[in-house]
């Protein structure tokens, strides 16, 4: 269905010519799911944009071809290319907040695709849009079709993006992190929908993701990318049974799950190298424990080791190489025991957040949206409470309301005690001082980072505002050290947020929250946009800070692997209420509520051969 040959993409930047994709070659058959995996910044999303010719002004495809059913998309004029985008080949973008038009209703954005590429018009196109909203799991689609993107949660916006991409029933769909912002039940529904479309239409899919559990369940073949190059290609069964490249082996060791609880996760030191340079050797050599002098002096080629399994690594030039690369690393050392449960840092009692529904000329209140309706919980110092539930259940609203970010926007009642002080009664300087103690990592890093500020200004802003006693030189050193802790180099300090990938921006958001050294962090999906190796670095960092400083976490997430590894307690939310809460082991292994059991049943599990 699609054949990519020697695709090379270059981008002009202030730091020189960046070769974001370097001689990429792959083929995808009709009805096949081909997964492209790797770290943030490796070139996965740039590959997708290159295929559709949606590169920024500074980017260009230097050479190579993208053949769709006999037509090279790189040779088409732009007018004909518009006929291919959306109909023959479409894309589900990674960040729905920046991809959806904020001044158009979601229904209009879907019908725009339907009317451009199918015979349907007017009421028929709108009915089709409603049908797609229903198929991707948007509740009350007849009403929500007239909503604007800002009226939807992050997960719901992602579902709208999927509906737009699939509306014209394309032959090839590029899914760039299609389930990143979705809870597990909707994720399972979306993945089943994609499978169904493949079966009925023989649709080919390029799945770009960092979730290896999804890859193991969805993909027929897998390509692992690193620093703009493909370093391993295999069938999914072979890749998960016997990963060959040292980078692949390290990725599997970094996956969080219950079996690794109490241990440090294996993380890969360093970060992906800058692509504005000529490489003399293997691009992974500086981070590889098995690297030799040859690895640093010569560039390895992508060679077939066995039928259908190729790897870019010199270890396989020797007869013993395959054994060396597939050795599992030694288990990481045990972490210090968690401290005994102490005094609560945060106590929430009967908390309600109701948004008024206003109608008429005088905007009278005619009802309420009960986003949070009588929630109670507490978090002790040094403990992690995981707040889980479906998108739209009120998790993010809880986090924002606790930090008093919804004052004047909603009717709020109940009590929030932060270290014994009533947070809801604070104002002015008292509330400002309280923010030294509690910080938040927002779900969407693109929207929460100021695009006009450099990284050093973003990270230093909170320290300068809340810790005026810290000298400027100390501030600079603190934020530079934090960048390295979250897996970014100090050279990032002078760059702007738009120069980073989605996962890298999420790391900046985490570093900003940690910069003021709070006692409580409300983390709203802090690892959702991170690949597994960086996620391991972040989880190790969060765990270390918890044990050293007694930091408490309210961890809002839908990643149950992270919950199993990190959480001491779990609270399950549905429709603004807590339906179940308790110690993590009890909730995970002996769930009492039917909704909790349904959530756990929908969690994708890594399918690996023994």
Q: What single string gives the DSSP state of each residue in 332-357?
A: PPBPPPPPPP-SEEEEEEEEEEEEEE
- Judged by average pLDDT, the poorest of 65-69, 132-136, 500-504, 549-553 is 500-504
Q: What is the pTM of this model?
A: 0.76
Backbone angles phi, psi at 72, to 5 degrees: -85, 110
Q: Are 446 and 518 found together in one domain?
A: yes
Average pLDDT, the chain: 87
Q: Are 116 and 218 found together in one domain?
A: no
Q: Are 110 and 87 found together in one domain?
A: no
Kindly state whether residue 392 falls inside one of the protein's structural domains. Answer: yes
Cβ(245)–Cβ(229) under 8 Å?
A: no
What is the number of structural domains in the chain?
4
Kindly state whether residue 610 falls inside one of the protein's structural domains. Answer: no
| Domain-terminating residue out of 164, 188, 208 | 164
Cα–Cα distance measured from residue 274 to residue 58, given in angstroms and rounded to the nearest whole number = 17
Q: Residues near 5 by Cβ (< 8 Å), separated by ≥ 6? A: 25, 64, 65, 67
The answer, yes or no, to whether residue 324 has pLDDT greater than 50, is no
Cα–Cα distance measured from residue 232 to residue 223, given in angstroms and rounded to the nearest whole number = 6
For 301-310, write each residue's pLDDT tens digit. Answer: 998 888 889 9
What is the structure's pLDDT at 553? 94
Kindly state whether residue 366 falls inside one of the protein's structural domains. Answer: no
Q: Are 385 and 437 found together in one domain?
A: yes
Q: Are 517 and 588 found together in one domain?
A: yes
- Judged by average pLDDT, the poorest of 54-58, 304-308, 340-344, 498-502 is 340-344
Using alpha carbons, select from 303, 396, 345, 327 the residue that is nearest to residue 519: 345
What is the structure's pLDDT at 206? 94
Q: Are 124 and 139 found together in one domain?
A: yes
For 532-568, write each residue's pLDDT tens digit. Answer: 777 888 888 888 888 888 889 999 987 888 899 999 9
Kindly state whether residue 316 falls inside one of the protein's structural domains. Answer: yes
Ordered alpha helix ranges (H), 383-454:
395-402, 428-434, 445-448
Q: Are 200 and 128 found together in one domain?
A: no
Kindly state whether residue 334 falls inside one of the protein's structural domains. Answer: no
- Judged by average pLDDT, the poorest of 139-148, 330-339, 583-592 is 330-339
What is the structure's pLDDT at 319? 42
Q: Kindly state the DSSP code that residue 164 receives in the 8-state scheme.
A: H
For residue 268, the enclosing domain spans 246-325
What is the structure's pLDDT at 229? 93
For 6-32, write each residue's pLDDT tens digit. Answer: 999 999 988 789 999 999 999 999 889
Q: What is the mean pLDDT of residues 175-203?
A: 80
Q: Are 301 and 181 found together in one domain?
A: no
| Domain-terminating residue out of 241, 256, 272 | 241
Q: Tell me the CATH number at 209.
A: 3.40.50.300
The answer, yes or no, to whether residue 443 has pLDDT greater than 70, is yes
For 205-219, write each residue's pLDDT tens digit. Answer: 999 987 888 899 899
What is the structure's pLDDT at 336? 61
pLDDT band at 430 (very low <50, low <70, confident <90, very high): confident
* Strand pairing report for 344-359 and 364-380: antiparallel
Cα–Cα distance measured from residue 442 to residue 402, given in angstroms and rounded to the nearest whole number = 13
Q: In what order do the strands lie in the sheet with 89-92?
A: 89-92, 172-176, 204-208, 33-38, 221-226, 229-235, 309-311, 303-306
| Domain-terminating residue out of 164, 192, 209 | 164
Kindly state whether residue 112 falls inside one of the protein's structural domains. Answer: yes
pLDDT band at 136 (very low <50, low <70, confident <90, very high): confident
Token pair 């479309």 in the structure block, residue: 197
Backbone angles phi, psi at 346, to 5 degrees: -135, 130
Q: Are 139 and 170 found together in one domain?
A: no
- Judged by average pLDDT, the poorest of 85-89, 185-189, 421-425 is 185-189
Cβ(97)–Cβ(41) under 8 Å?
A: no
Q: What is the mean pLDDT of residues 184-204?
A: 81
What is the structure's pLDDT at 379? 94
Kindly state whether residue 345 falls inside one of the protein's structural domains. Answer: no
pLDDT band at 466 (very low <50, low <70, confident <90, very high): confident
Kindly state whether residue 300 falls inside one of the protein's structural domains. Answer: yes
The answer, yes or no, to whether residue 321 has pLDDT greater than 60, is no
Q: Are 525 and 544 found together in one domain?
A: yes
3-state DSSP assignment of residue 207: strand
Cα–Cα distance measured from residue 372 to residue 155, given in angstroms and rounded to the nearest whole number = 18
Q: What is the mean pLDDT of residues 156-184?
A: 85
Q: Are 182 and 141 found together in one domain?
A: no
Cα–Cα distance measured from residue 363 to residue 357, given in angstroms and rounded to the nearest whole number = 9
Cβ(234)–Cβ(301) under 8 Å?
A: no
Q: Are 173 and 287 found together in one domain?
A: no
């Amino acid at each position: 269905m699609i054949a990519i040959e020697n695709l090379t993409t270059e981008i002009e930047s202030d730091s020189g010519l960046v070769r974001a994709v370097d001689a990429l070659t792959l083929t995808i058959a009709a009805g096949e799911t081909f997964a492209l995996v790797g770290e943030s910044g490796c070139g996965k999303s740039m590959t997708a944009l290159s295929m559709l010719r949606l590169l920024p002004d500074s980017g260009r495809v230097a050479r190579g071809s993208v053949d769709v059913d006999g037509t090279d998309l790189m040779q088409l004029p732009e007018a004909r290319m518009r006929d291919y985008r959306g109909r023959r080949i479409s894309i589900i973008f990674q960040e729905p907040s920046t991809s959806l038009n904020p001044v158009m209703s979601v229904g209009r954005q879907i019908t725009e695709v339907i009317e451009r590429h199918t015979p349907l018009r007017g009421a028929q196109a709108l009915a089709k849009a409603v049908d797609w909203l229903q198929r991707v799991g948007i509740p009350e689609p007849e009403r929500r079709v007239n909503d604007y993107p800002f009226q939807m949660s992050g997960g719901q916006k992602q579902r709208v993006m999927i509906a737009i991409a699939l509306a014209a029933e394309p032959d090839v769909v590029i899914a760039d992190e299609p389930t990143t912002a979705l809870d597990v039940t909707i994720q399972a529904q979306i993945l089943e929908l994609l499978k169904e479309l493949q079966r009925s239409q023989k649709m080919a899919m390029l799945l770009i993701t960092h979730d290896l559990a999804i890859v193991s369940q969805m993909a027929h073949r897998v390509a692992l990318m690193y620093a703009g190059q493909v370093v391993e290609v295999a069938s999914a069964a072979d890749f998960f049974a016997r990963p060959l490249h040292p980078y692949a082996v390290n990725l599997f060791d970094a996956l969080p799950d219950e079996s690794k609880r109490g241990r440090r996760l294996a993380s890969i030191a360093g970060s992906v190298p800058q692509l504005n340079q000529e490489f003399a050797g293997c691009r992974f050599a500086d981070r590889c424990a098995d690297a030799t002098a040859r690895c640093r002096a010569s560039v390895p080629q992508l060679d077939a080791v066995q039928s259908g399994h190729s790897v870019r690594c010199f270890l396989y030039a020797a007869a013993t190489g395959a054994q060396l690369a597939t050795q599992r690393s030694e288990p990481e050392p045990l972490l210090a025991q968690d401290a005994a449960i102490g005094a609560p840092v945060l106590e929430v009692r009967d908390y309600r957040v109701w948004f008024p529904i206003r109608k008429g000329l005088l905007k009278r209140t005619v009802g309420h949206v009960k986003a949070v309706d009588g929630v109670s919980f507490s978090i002790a110092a040094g403990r992690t409470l995981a707040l889980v539930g479906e998108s739209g259940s009120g998790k993010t609203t809880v986090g924002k309301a606790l930090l008093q970010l919804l004052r004047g926007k909603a009717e709020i009642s109940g009590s929030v005690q932060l270290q014994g002080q009533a947070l809801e009664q604070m104002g002015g300087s008292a509330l400002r001082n309280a923010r030294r103690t509690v910080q938040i990592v927002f779900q969407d890093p693109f929207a929460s980072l100021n695009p006009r500020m450099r990284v050093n200004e973003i990270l230093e802003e909170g320290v300068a505002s809340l810790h005026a006693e810290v000298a400027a030189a100390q501030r600079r050193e603190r934020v530079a050290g934090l960048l390295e802790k979250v897996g970014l180099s100090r050279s990032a300090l002078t760059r702007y947020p738009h120069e980073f990938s989605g996962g890298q921006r999420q790391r900046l958001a985490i570093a900003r929250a940690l910069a003021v050294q709070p006692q409580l962090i409300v983390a709203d999906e802090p690892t959702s946009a991170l690949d597994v190796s960086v996620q391991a670095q972040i989880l190790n960092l969060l765990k270390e800070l918890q044990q050293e400083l007694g930091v408490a976490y309210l961890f809002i997430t839908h990643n149950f692997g992270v919950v199993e590894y990190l959480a001491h307690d779990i609270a399950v939310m549905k429709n603004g209420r807590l339906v179940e809460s308790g110690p993590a082991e009890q909730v995970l292994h002996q769930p009492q509520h039917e909704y909790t059991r349904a959530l756990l049943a929908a969690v994708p599990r890594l399918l690996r051969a023994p």
